[in-house]
Amino acid sequence: MSDDFAMFSQAAAAKGVGKGDGPPPAKVARQEAGGPRAYLKCFETLAPQMLNAYGEAKYAKMADEDVWKHMSTELKSGAMWMTECAAIDPERRGTATNRWLQVQIAFCKQQQSVSQRQKNAFLKLPDKLACLYDEIDRILPSLEYCLAPKKSSPKSGSSALRSGVAVSETSSAAAGDPPELDRHAKIVYDWLDIKTASYIRMVQAWHAGGGLSFVASVHHRATQCFLYYGNSLHQTASQNYITLGDFQECIRKRHEIGHTGIGGTDDSSVPGDWS
């Protein structure tokens, strides 16, 4: 995927890209003032990088050692790794860990919401559900205490659709007390050990489905919107919705095209996840 967070390459800089008469963009200005910022390449795209747009991603069935080997390999974008956890600098590792804490807190709080509790109660056995919420109650305070607060800004466009994770209201606005941080960090560290079963991890893996659940859900939502509003942009259509005849024609036309798709090629060099 494209690297939205990549700074200008050395080749582009040599050609004068981004060095017009006007002031440089804010991000570029920060980079130039502080020197090279190779860490800002694409680390925030870790989750999208792991997605397979056509099905289940391979990482879900790979051993941790193999996943880490690929995550810590340099990317074509110029990024040193896929995650700053691969750095030796505690500050860079702390940045990556804080991102992890942020989404873990968001997940736990989502499970605690009334609507999600109802969905879980419908799908899960009562005793397993009780174990899940007991674990959330135990680990969430430590996750929140370890999280370094971050100011949030208003979202718009695609950012609003992703809805950036909000900092927990229970998190302190100031840095935590070092001894207390160490105590909570140990609780989280022990929780990460796979020798101890975790219902939170089990539910996350089940929901994720190697990314397939998300990919399928997004495509289903797009097709659902298409069903009701697919003709709304076209003045030649007599109604906004897609008729049964329209839908059947879509299916027939795609079969007429064949397996290579529109403009498709049988390229054996395409990586396995994208073939």
- Total domains in the fold of the chain: 3
pLDDT tens figures, 208-233: 888 888 888 888 898 899 899 888 88
Structural domain containing residue 111 = 97-150+166-207
User: What is the average per-residue pLDDT within 138-150?
Assistant: 91
Residue 274 lies in a domain: no
Pair (118, 196) in one structural domain: yes
Residue 155 lies in a domain: no
If DSSP codes are grouped into helix, strand and coil, which group holds residue 251? helix
Residue 33 lies in a domain: yes
Residue 71 lies in a domain: yes
pLDDT tens figures, 176-193: 888 999 999 999 999 999
Pair (74, 146) in one structural domain: no
Among 31, 59, 86, the domain boundary falls at 86
Q: Is residue 142 within 8 Å of residue 176, measured between CB atoms?
A: no
Pair (102, 128) in one structural domain: yes
CA-nearest of 222, 32, 48, 201 to 131 is 201
| Side chain identity at residue 64, one-letter code | D
Distance CA 120, CA 131 (A): 12
CA-nearest of 126, 48, 39, 128 to 86 is 39
Pair (133, 45) in one structural domain: no
Residue 62 lies in a domain: yes
Distance CA 273, CA 263 (A): 20
Q: Which two tokens stand for residue 164?
A: 């950036």
Pair (198, 219) in one structural domain: no
Instruction: Return the pLDDT at 253.
Output: 86
Pair (48, 82) in one structural domain: yes
Pair (118, 195) in one structural domain: yes
Among 86, 107, 129, the domain boundary falls at 86
Residue 91 lies in a domain: no
Pair (13, 58) in one structural domain: yes
Among 86, 109, 142, the domain boundary falls at 86
Pair (120, 187) in one structural domain: yes
> Which has more pLDDT, 178 or 266?
178
Instruction: Return the pLDDT at 46.
Output: 81
| pTM exceeds 0.85 | no
**Average model confidence (pLDDT) across the chain:** 76
Pair (40, 75) in one structural domain: yes
Query: Which range has the top average pLDDT, 2-6, 44-48, 54-58, 128-132?
Result: 128-132
pLDDT tens figures, 74-133: 877 777 888 888 888 888 888 888 989 999 999 999 999 999 999 999 989 999 999 999
Pair (61, 102) in one structural domain: no
Residue 92 lies in a domain: no
Pair (196, 143) in one structural domain: yes
Residue 220 lies in a domain: yes
